Structure 1
């Protein structure tokens, strides 16, 4: 059987894409190494005006090359998000923002010796986009059930094709076809519908009160925990240096760590080219990173 080879133009485009990525990541790695050396000098107190200027310049250059890599590889995000969206999908922007977060994770962790970047980036992009899809379209499924949902639906279609669409589901048979448990099949196929928390509760005498106002969460949010337990100086001195430039920017603007007024997610997103949900995800990951270094000095 003949093997179909890419057309000349497509082959050249693929080669150009790989060469461009190789060049950008080589620059990125050099800048990270330089930045690590400069930050080590700062931490050791071996810093002068020249080192401070070099540190800030290197941080800006790393941000610039990261943006170049994002731009060069953004097609990976678009192609994966297209599996879940259409032109009129109201969640397209959030799914793409989630894909950007996955792409950033891939860029920060990529090792060129492990193969092409497009293969490396697939899993982080998939993870973040699937999480956003589940939150938007299937919030009633836990992550494990949502991951198995496609194969369960495929097995259900095969069952209906064999026994007819009017035949009642045999959950054990579908579970065998899908390679899952019968309990998972039941949870996916019979998932309860979740009403909006902003809809009226419907209880007698309280018809106009939304569920969101009646279900108070007694536990502090991650943001409250960080800001209540640690003063801003501790966060700035011991937490922020461990974050990448984008994470530091989001937390600094979100919580006013530079002395300026706190900003809402959507304003920060406008500057970064992200949706509100995309900024929120970066914020959550950055706050999770802060817990370790801050707890050590608490």
Structure 2
């Protein structure tokens, strides 16, 4: 990694399109390259390593930010906020956890974008483009009262303004709308109440939760192996044949024929083995 590596920003380039073209030029890191850079950052506080991790994931931020374009906020600002989240993720990333940065960083990127939307978003953006502003002012002057336009009136206005009828209907809806609090009404606890903030919340588990779940699964797998090793050969064979085969699990009668005992005896051995394993797993 050279000292010449810099992190581009939307504001430092002439346009959003130029920024998007610039970040596409940065290569995607292999797992080995990512691990090496993350290790250098974590152990040696290598700033160049941090830059390498960041620039290789700028496309991820732009992709996530694109999903929030419907809130009427500048795409460049959404990307900038997402980049802040990416930087926070890079600083906290532990390569020894066995999780790729792309998975770990998504939570932090979305969290920053959500926070930005909460600070700046209005649910109803009356006019965000030049064409919408023109339609807004023309429609205000042409509407004779506050009643909802009839289909015939919509068609007449659309024809006169040379726009689509659905554009007239949408603008009328915006004009008659009102701002809604992102937080909702804290005094209303009914099941029918809702607030837009609920739809901003990332429903995916946080990285810490994913790591804890992965560690729990690993511990259970290791514990199961140890519990099986504690059984005698016959008991282990019965448990594996009955419970640990993906397809065609053996029946009590199958195992009875294999060991030359009754099906009831196989059931007793299985029950005793399962109780022993359960005790070991609970103590782990």
TM-score range, shorter chain: 0.3 to 0.5
| Larger Cα-atom Rg | 2
Which TM-score applies when normalising by structure 1?
Answer: 0.31
**Structure that is richer in helix per residue:** 1
Higher relative contact order (CA 8 A, sep 6+): 1
